[in-house]
């Protein structure tokens, strides 16, 4: 069975690690690049790096992003020098940004660079950025339009998000590798990533709706909501500000056109009927992933559903 997963952020990366444990060779992960940005003259792809580090077993287990056991010598020195230090880069993590930025300057495609990084990290699956050209996510807050990381990290996602824009998504297509992976897949898994900030940037790419319609795969989404709580990040507030129920029904309202099945937490049984009324099949499962076996178990549910 060929599997394609769509992911971004820590929760998505964790389910992809489960899929990777089940099927390391027949997995392609399509990663959101809407949160990519430039800092210190370097190109950063935080969602990609989170997936890379998580699958390679390098990720910091507590924060979910960055490299476990990383040191902060460069970042500390940068602070001393009065450099921009709102976005923390560990010493080992920095090597990824240096490598990527140098290869981009040499004219390599982002897809090629991501493949080089995943091979060097010892991975046997395909990690695919959704696009080779930038499609930056911009958010309208009460204070106006801002860049994604301005909201997410600099302001610690404390402000209300009134609108999301995926700048250029109407003219930038998914890469040929992404189209091939989705078209060849027997199963597409929408990982428990934030639909507004991680999945919609991918699904909004030019021509994606047509690619999606032509895919023969069964499409299974995993809800990132447990009860009225998001496991991590600002999803609950985003559902609220966009007028959706703050639970897995809200997720279903965002994804019903893109999925056949929605896996929701076993504690949310009462949402099954209203979600099925939207035309989605519902599966109940424990969706909180505390360790690697949890990730694998949830991945197995997603592959059976
Ligand atoms: N998130 C933070 O909240 N603060 C940080 O300083 C930070 C640094 C960082 C460095 C490398 C990286 O790959 C991710 C990092 N993240 C940080 C997480 C990142 O902002 C988010 O995971 C995504 O951008 C949103 O999905």
Residues in contact with ligand 1 (CB, 6 Å cut-off): 8-9, 35, 46-47, 49-50, 65-66, 87-89, 93, 152-153
* DSSP category for residue 8: -
Ligand 1: which atom is nearest the Cα of residue 87? 6
Could you read off the pLDDT of 24-69 as tens digits, one per residue? 999 999 999 999 999 999 999 999 999 999 999 999 999 999 999 9
**Mean of pLDDT values over 158-184:** 97
Measured in Å, residue 65 CA sits from the centre of ligand 1 at 6
Please state the atom number of ligand 1 nearest to the C-alpha of residue 148. Answer: 24
Residue with the smallest CA separation from ligand 1 atom 26 is: 9
pLDDT value for 270: 98
pLDDT-derived band at 19, boundaries 50, 70, 90: very high
Alpha carbon of 226 to ligand 1 centroid (Å): 23
Residue range 242-277, pLDDT digits in tens: 999 999 999 999 999 999 999 999 999 999 999 999
H/E segment holding residue 3: strand 3-7
**Residue identifier of the C-alpha nearest atom 14 of ligand 1:** 46
pLDDT of residue 32: 98
What residues contact residue 219 under an 8 Å CB cut-off, 6+ apart?
187, 188, 190, 258, 259, 260, 261
In tens, the pLDDT along 135-151 reads 999 999 999 999 999 99
Q: What is the model's pTM?
A: 0.98
Residue showing tokens 């199963």: 187
pLDDT band at 238 (very low <50, low <70, confident <90, very high): very high
Report the atom number in ligand 1 closest to the C-alpha of 32: 26
- What is residue 89's predicted lDDT score, i.e. its pLDDT? 98
């Amino acid at each position: 069975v060929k599997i394609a997963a769509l992911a971004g952020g820590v929760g998505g990366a964790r389910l992809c690690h489960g899929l990777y444990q089940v099927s390391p060779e027949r997995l392609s992960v399509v990663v959101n690049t809407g949160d990519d940005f430039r800092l210190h003259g370097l190109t950063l792809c935080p969602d990609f790096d989170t997936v890379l580090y998580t699958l390679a077993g390098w990720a910091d287990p507590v924060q979910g992003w960055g490299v476990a056991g990383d040191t902060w010598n460069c970042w500390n020195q940068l602070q001393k020098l009065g450099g921009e230090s709102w976005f923390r880069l560990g010493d080992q993590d920095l090597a990824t940004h240096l490598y990527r930025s140098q290869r981009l300057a040499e004219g390599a495609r982002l897809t090629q660079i991501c493949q080089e990084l995943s091979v060097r990290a010892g991975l046997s699956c395909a990690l695919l950025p959704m696009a080779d050209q930038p499609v930056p996510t911009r958010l309208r807050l009460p204070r106006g339009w801002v860049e994604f990381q301005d909201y997410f990290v600099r302001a610690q996602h404390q402000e209300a998000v009134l609108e999301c824009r995926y700048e250029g998504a109407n003219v930038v297509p998914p890469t040929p590798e992404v189209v091939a992976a989705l078209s060849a897949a027997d199963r597409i898994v929408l990982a428990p990533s934030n639909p507004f900030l991680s999945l919609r940037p991918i699904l909004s790419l030019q021509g994606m709706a047509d690619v999606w319609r032509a895919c023969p795969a069964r499409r299974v989404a995993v809800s990132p909501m447990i009860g009225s709580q998001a496991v991590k990040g600002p999803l609950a507030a985003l559902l609220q500000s966009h007028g959706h129920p703050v639970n897995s029904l809200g997720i279903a309202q965002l994804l019903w056109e893109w999925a056949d099945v929605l896996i929701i937490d076993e504690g949310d049984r009462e949402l099954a009927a209203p979600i099925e009324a939207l035309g989605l099949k519902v599966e109940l499962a424990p969706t909180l992933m505390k360790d690697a076996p949890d990730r694998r178990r949830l991945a197995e549910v997603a592959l059976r559903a």
